[in-house]
Structure 1
Amino acid sequence: MVPKYFLLIAALLWTGIVAYFCLVQSSDLPTVNIPNLDKCIHAFFHFVFTFLWFLFFYKQLKSDSIFRPLLISFLFSFVFGAGIEILQGIITTTRSADVLDAVANLVGAAMSVFTVVICYKNNVLNIVLKN
């Protein structure tokens, strides 16, 4: 069984990593010419973001169902991603807000929800989710 404080630390750490890489000057990051790589990175960031926050909320709420923690973590991912996109347009000089990035964020979060549901139905998450 994983303690909920560990899950909170993991989720907060990942949130900080995502915020940093989304708000750091893009000139400070290595350049790779792979079409739409940034969209894949956004989806990956929010897949992990949603999954980690789901684990924390599930433990914190001591829920009998995965629905509420999944909904909260999905909505949190959406709001966080939208906030980051807005901040990119306001406070950075080398980045801009992009609707397609927000769509990629949602795709990653939705894939995470789908993965959690499949894992839950197949009892894969039992070790972590035990209350």
Structure 2
Amino acid sequence: MVLKKICLGAALAWTGNIIYLCLIKASELPQITIPYIDKYVHAVFHFVFSLLWFYAFRFSFKTVRRVKLLSIVFVMSLVFGIAIELFQTYLTVTRNGDAVDVLANSTGALLAILTIQILNKKFNCK
């Protein structure tokens, strides 16, 4: 029960952090001059987002098959990433949505799903 609450709290906190960091003024973020760093950041955001939500759901819905939960989490990440890009375009004046960010988000989510699958096979989890 405690682990279930921790996973849900972590997933909600991470989601809130993504929203905050993606919608604040770009000038308030640290300037790093590594090419395409923002794409890597998007991928990491959604990698962790997908991991946290998968385990939050796994502890809450123990009878639902893992593949179904992974599918739900991937779609959730995709929709959330698209929504953030739309919010950047239409709700902020200092940020712009970017379709390549959606691709980076999806890549992070897919890598999380592959990681979960590999770990489940390695440790023979159901």
**If the TM-score is normalised by the length of the shorter chain, which range does it land in?**
over 0.9
Q: Report the Cα distance in structure 2 between the residues aligned to 1:2 and 1:96, rounded to whole angstroms.
A: 39
Q: CA RMSD in A?
A: 1.7
- What's the counterpart of residue 59 of structure 1? 59
Equivalent residues in 2 for 1:81-92, closer than 5 Å:
81-92=81-92
Equivalent residues in 2 for 1:24-63, closer than 5 Å:
24-63=24-63
Q: Report the Cα distance in structure 1 between the residues aligned to 2:104 and 2:116, rounded to whole angstroms.
A: 18
Q: Report the Cα distance in structure 1 between the residues aligned to 2:32 and 2:114, rounded to whole angstroms.
A: 30
Structure 2: runs of 5+ lacking an equivalent: none
- What's the counterpart of residue 101 of structure 1? 101
Q: Report the Cα distance in structure 2 between the residues aligned to 1:109 and 1:118, rounded to whole angstroms.
A: 14
How much has 1:65 moved relative to structure 2?
Answer: 2.9
Q: Report the Cα distance in structure 2 between the residues aligned to 1:24 and 1:98, rounded to whole angstroms.
A: 16
Give the aligned residue type for 2:30: P
Q: Which 10-residue stretch deviates more, 108-117 or 26-35?
A: 26-35
Q: Report the Cα distance in structure 2 between the residues aligned to 1:115 and 1:24, rounded to whole angstroms.
A: 30
Normalised TM-score (structure 1): 0.90
- What's the counterpart of residue 110 of structure 1? 110
Q: Report the Cα distance in structure 2 between the residues aligned to 1:63 and 1:80, rounded to whole angstroms.
A: 25
Q: Report the Cα distance in structure 2 between the residues aligned to 1:15 and 1:58, rounded to whole angstroms.
A: 17
Matched length: 126
CA deviation map 1:19-77 (0-9, x unaligned): 11111100111111111000000000000000000001111111363111111111111
Give the aligned residue type for 2:120: Y
Normalised TM-score (structure 2): 0.94
SS of 1:108's partner is helix
CA gap 1:122/1:2 in 2 versus in 1, 3 angstroms: farther
Give the aligned residue type for 2:59: K
Equivalent residues in 2 for 1:6-21, closer than 5 Å:
6-21=6-21
SS of 1:3's partner is helix
